[in-house]
Amino acid sequence: MSSESQPPEAARPPRDDPLPESYALRVTDGEVHVWQYNPTIPEPAGEWQYVETIDQANAPRFTLEYATLTAPAGDGYWIYSNAYDCAMDCE
């Protein structure tokens, strides 16, 4: 099940040069936090906006385009992608 609660500000993607409407997924053992980079009125150049948190217990399966993985840091790693879709294990 996904959650709409906002992750801590420190969980924002560290990437400074993303493409508009691209995604960043922070993957840990317990959760996946999804962010999208979008222009806004206060930040016309764009800023990271939180999308959702997905519990790893739901066995999420992701479809990504042009994905780039980062080296693990702390308790997880980042995946950057031009497109994002998720399906849950429906067993």
The answer on pLDDT for 38 being more than 60 is: yes
Q: What band does 8 get if pLDDT is binned at 50, 70 and 90?
A: low
Tens of pLDDT along 45-72?
A: 889 999 999 999 999 999 999 999 999 9
Cα 11 to Cα 15, 56, 87: the distances in Å are 12, 17, 23
Q: How far apart are CA 51 and CA 73, in angstroms?
A: 22
Q: What's the pLDDT score for residue 15? A: 85
Give this prediction's pTM.
0.85
Domain parsing of the chain, residue ranges:
2-87
User: Which tokens belong to 91?
Assistant: 């067993």
